[in-house]
C-alpha cells in the first residue's frame, strides 16, 4: 500500500511541476524572457510545397504554414534582433514560394532578415531569398534558375503497346488534357503556356522589385539560367559571397548586436519528440488552465 502511495505521490509531483511550468508559460509577458541578443535561424530545406507529405519517410519539404509558425516565434521573441533564413532548396510550388516570400517581406518590416544560400537555392528557392533584406551566397552555391516549368507525362504509346485502352467520359472539352492518355492539342499547349508565362512574369516582377533591379535586367538574366555565387553577385542577384558565419555576422550587424551573437534555431522536431511534446503540452495546459481559473496566477503580490 505504501509503495502505491509513493508512486501516486511521485506522479502528482510531476503533474504539478508540469502544471506550474505551463501556467507560467501561459501567463508570462508576450515578450518572454530576454536571454541576450540573438539571431534566429530558420531553415528552408528541400522542396517548397503547400503540403509536407505524409509518413515518417516522407521527403523533406518546407511549407508556408511551418515557415510562418517559426517566423512568428522569432518575431515575438524580444531577444531575437535579426533572422537568418538558411536556404538549401531547388524550389517547388509557385503558390508556396510566393507565400513564404510574402511572409519574409512582412517580417523584415519588423526585424532584418538575411538569407544564406547553401548548396542550392534555385527557382522557388531563389524567389524566397530575393524577398529578404540581404543575401549572402556560399562560394559553392548554385542559384538563379528564374523560370517556371510544368511537366505533363504522356504515355499513350506505352498503353497502346500494352494493349490498354482508356475510356474517358468527360463534361468539358479540356477536362482530360493532363491525364497523359493522349498528347496535348496545340490549343491545350497554348492554354498551359499562357498560364506558365503569367507565372514567369510574376516571378520576374517580384525579383526586380525585391532586388531593386529593372525588369529588363532580370528578364535578360532569367530564362532558367543557373549561376555560381560569384556570377550571381556580379549580376545583382545576391549582395555578398560568404560562408554561413559571414551571413550570421551580417544579420547581427543589421540587428544592432555587438560581439558574437547567440543563435536560436527553429526547426521541425523528430516525429517521436513532436508527439511527446504535444502530449505533455496538452496535459500541462489542462492543469494550468485550472490553476489560472482558480486565481493562482504567478506574479508579485
Domains of the chain (ranges; CATH) run 1-30+270-301 (no CATH), 35-145+225-268 (3.90.226.10), 147-222 (no CATH)
Instruction: Specify which residues 85 forms β-bridges with.
Output: 42, 115
* Grid cell locating 49: 510545397
Q: Return the number of other C-beta atoms located less than 10 Å from residue 113's C-beta.
A: 28
Q: What average pLDDT does range 266-295 have in this prediction?
A: 46
Task: Name 278's Cβ contacts closer than 8 Å, sequence gap at least 6.
Answer: none
Q: Return the number of other C-beta atoms located less than 10 Å from residue 286's C-beta.
A: 14
User: Alpha carbon of 189 to those of 6, 142, 157: distances in Å?
Assistant: 74, 31, 19
pLDDT digits (tens, 9 = 90+) for 199-250: 999 999 999 999 999 999 999 999 999 999 999 999 999 999 999 999 999 9
- Give the three-class secondary structure for 90: coil
Angle in degrees, CA 46, 50, 56, rounded to 5: 60
SS3 annotation, 105-166: HHHCCCCCEEEEEEEEEECHHHHHHHCCCEEEECCCCEEECCCCCCCCCCCHHHHHHHCCCC
* Ranges 98-107, 135-144, 284-293: which has the least confidence: 284-293
Catalytic residues: 123, 175
Residue 177 burial (CB < 10 Å; 0-12/13-18/19+)?
buried
Residue 285's pLDDT is 40
Residue 59's pLDDT is 56
DSSP 269: P
Task: Name 74's Cβ contacts closer than 8 Å, sequence gap at least 6.
Answer: 40, 42, 80, 83, 107, 111, 264, 266
Whether residue 238 contacts residue 117, with contact meaning beta carbons closer than 8 Å, is answered with: yes
* Grid cell locating 170: 468527360
Q: Is the pTM of this model over 0.85?
A: no
Which strand (E) or helix (H) includes residue 67?
helix 64-76
Residue 159's pLDDT is 85
Smallest Cα–Cα separation from 50: which of 40, 68, 65? 65
Dihedral sign of CA atoms 156, 159, 160, 166 in order: negative
Task: Name 193's Cβ contacts closer than 8 Å, sequence gap at least 6.
Answer: none
* Ranges 80-84, 194-198, 207-211, 272-276: which has the least confidence: 272-276
Amino acid at each position: 500500500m505504501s509503495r502505491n502511495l509513493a508512486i501516486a505521490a511521485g506522479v502528482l509531483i510531476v503533474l504539478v511541476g508540469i502544471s506550474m511550468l505551463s501556467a507560467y508559460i501561459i501567463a508570462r509577458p508576450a515578450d518572454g524572457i530576454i536571454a541576450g541578443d540573438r539571431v534566429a535561424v530558420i531553415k528552408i530545406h528541400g522542396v517548397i510545397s503547400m503540403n509536407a507529405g505524409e509518413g515518417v519517410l516522407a521527403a523533406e519539404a518546407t511549407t508556408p504554414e511551418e515557415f510562418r509558425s517559426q517566423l512568428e516565434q522569432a518575431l515575438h521573441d524580444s531577444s531575437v534582433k535579426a533572422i537568418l533564413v538558411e536556404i538549401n532548396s531547388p524550389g517547388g510550388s509557385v503558390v508556396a514560394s510566393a507565400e513564404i516570400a510574402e511572409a519574409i517581406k512582412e517580417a523584415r518590416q519588423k526585424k532584418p532578415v538575411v538569407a544564406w544560400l547553401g548548396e542550392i537555392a534555385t527557382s522557388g528557392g531563389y524567389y524566397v531569398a530575393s524577398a529578404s533584406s540581404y543575401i549572402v551566397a556560399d562560394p559553392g552555391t548554385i542559384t538563379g534558375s528564374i523560370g517556371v516549368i510544368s511537366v505533363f507525362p504522356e504515355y499513350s504509346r506505352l498503353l497502346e503497346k500494352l494493349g490498354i485502352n482508356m475510356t474517358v467520359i468527360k463534361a468539358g472539352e479540356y477536362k482530360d488534357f493532363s491525364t497523359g492518355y493522349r498528347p496535348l492539342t496545340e490549343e491545350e499547349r497554348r492554354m498551359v503556356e499562357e498560364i506558365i508565362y503569367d507565372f514567369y512574369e510574376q516571378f520576374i516582377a517580384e525579383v526586380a522589385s525585391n532586388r531593386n533591379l529593372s525588369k529588363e535586367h532580370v528578364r535578360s538574366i532569367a530564362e532558367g539560367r543557373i549561376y555560381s555565387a560569384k556570377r550571381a553577385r556580379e549580376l545583382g542577384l545576391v549582395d555578398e559571397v560568404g560562408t554561413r558565419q559571414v551571413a550570421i555576422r551580417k544579420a547581427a550587424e543589421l540587428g544592432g548586436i555587438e560581439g558574437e551573437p547567440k543563435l536560436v534555431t527553429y526547426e521541425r522536431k523528430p516525429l517521436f519528440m513532436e508527439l511527446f511534446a504535444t502530449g505533455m503540452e496538452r496535459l500541462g495546459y489542462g492543469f494550468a488552465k485550472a490553476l489560472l481559473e482558480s486565481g493562482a496566477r504567478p506574479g508579485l503580490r
